[in-house]
Amino acid sequence: MTRILITGALGQIGTEISALLIEKYGKKNVIISDMREPSKNGISENCRKLDVTDGAVLEKVVNEEGITDIFHLAAILSATGERNPELAYMVNSVGTFNILKVSVKTGINKVIIPSSIAVYGPSSPKKDTPVISVTRPDSIYGITKVDNELLSSYFRKKFGLDVRGIRFPGLLSYKTLPTAGTTDYAVDMIMKASLGEDYTCYLSPDRTLPMMYMPDALEALMKLYNADKSRLRYSTEYNISAFAFSPKQLENELKRIFPGFKVSYVPDYRDEIASGWPESLDCSDAVKDWDFKPRFSLHEMVDDMSRNFRLLNTKH
C-alpha cells in the first residue's frame, strides 16, 4: 500500500498537490506535514508538525506512519533565502540530506524533490538552456538547489534510491499565493489588474523568465511520479516550462483585458537574483523521458487566472 508523506505541505505547491494525492490515494494514506502547525481542516486525517532539519524526528514520523513515498516540498525560496542564507542552508541543504538519508535507512520507494531554474547562474546559457549546462548560481537558494541535485544523483547511484524531480520555472496560481520567490511578481500583477488596482513591479520591464501555470506543474509532477523508472536518465534535473515572458509582456497581455491597467517599475534585489536565470529552457529531456506536455499558453493562463481572481473577489 502507498503511504505518502508531504513535507512543506502548507506551501504553494504543497497545498495543491496534497489535494490531488488525497484524491488518488485517500485521506488515510497522505500525511500532511509542515514546520507550521498543519490544522486538521478536513484536507487530511493525518497532519504532523515536522521540521525537516530534525533528522531524528523525521525518521520517527516515517516509521510511525509506515511511509512508502515522500514528496519533499519543504524549502526556503529565493527572496527569503537571500535575506537569511543560514536558514536557507539549514532547511534546503541539511533538510534535504536528512530526507535522503532517512529514505535509504527506512527503505522508501520513491522520493520527489523539486529543483528550480535557480540552479543556473550568470555563466549559464540564457536561451533554450539545456539540462546539462553550467550550473554556478550566485544566490544562496540556487547554491542549495545545486547541492540538492548533486546529492539526489549521488543517493540514486550509490544507494539505488529512486529520487525524481523537476527544475520548476516560476509557477503561477490563484489558489495559494506565493510569498517568498523572485517570480511572485507575475501572480501579484495579474491579481492587481483583476482587482482594478495599479501595480509596482520589483523586476525590470524586460526581465524575461520561464514560467508555467500551476495546473500544468501539478500534472507534470504526477506524470514524473508515475513514470517508468527505466526511462528516466536524470534524477531531479528535468527542465520544464510552458512559456517565457517579461513583466512588460505580461503588462501588455493584461491590458488586453484591462485597458486602464498601469504598472510602474522599481527594480530591487530580486531583479539581481533573476538576472542570472535563463530566459527560456530546453525541455526536450522531460518530453522524451516522461512525456511532458503543458496545456496552458500564456494567453490562456492570463485569461483563466484573471477570471478566477475576479470570481474570488466577488465571493468575499
Ligand X SMILES: NC(=O)c1ccc[n+]([C@@H]2O[C@H](COP(=O)([O-])OP(=O)(O)OC[C@H]3O[C@@H](n4cnc5c(N)ncnc54)[C@H](O)[C@@H]3O)[C@@H](O)[C@H]2O)c1
Binding site for ligand X (CB under 6 A): 7-8, 10-14, 34-36, 50-53, 73-75, 77, 91, 95, 114, 116, 168, 170-171, 178, 180-181, 183
Q: Whole-angstrom Cα distance, residue 124 to residue 156?
A: 25
Rounded alpha-carbon distances, angstroms, from residue 192 to 189, 208, 252, 280, 301: 5, 20, 14, 26, 15
Question: d(Cα 137, Cα 167) in Å, to the nearest integer?
Answer: 14
Active-site hit among 89, 120, 141, 234? 141
d(CA 315, CA 126) in angstroms, rounded, equals 42
- Residue 1, classified by CB atoms within 10 Å of its CB into exposed (0-12), middle (13-18) or buried (19+), is exposed
- Count of helix runs (H) and strand runs (E) in the chain: 12, 14
What's the closest the beta carbon of residue 184 comes to ligand X, in angstroms?
Answer: 8
Residue sitting closest to ligand X (CB): 11
Closest contact distance (angstroms) between CB of 2 and ligand X is 21
Cβ distance to ligand X smaller for residue 91 or 108? 91
Q: Which is nearer to ligand X, 76 or 161 (CB)?
A: 76
Distance of CA 297 to the CA centre of its chain: 19
Q: Which of residues 114 and 276 has its CB atom nearest to ligand X in the complex?
A: 114
DSSP, collapsed to helix, strand or coil, labels residue 253 as helix
Residue 195 burial by CB count (10 A; 0-12/13-18/19+): exposed, middle or buried?
middle
CB of 314 to ligand X, least distance (A): 26
Q: How far is the CB of 165 from ligand X (least distance, A)?
A: 8
d(CA 58, CA 48): 10
Residue closer to ligand X (CB basis): 262 or 295:
295
| Residue 141 annotated as catalytic | yes
Minimum CB separation of residue 196 from ligand X in Å reads: 26
* Beta-strand relationship, 110-112 and 69-72: parallel
Nearer to ligand X, 14 or 278 (CB): 14
User: Among all residues, which ones are annotated catalytic?
Assistant: 141
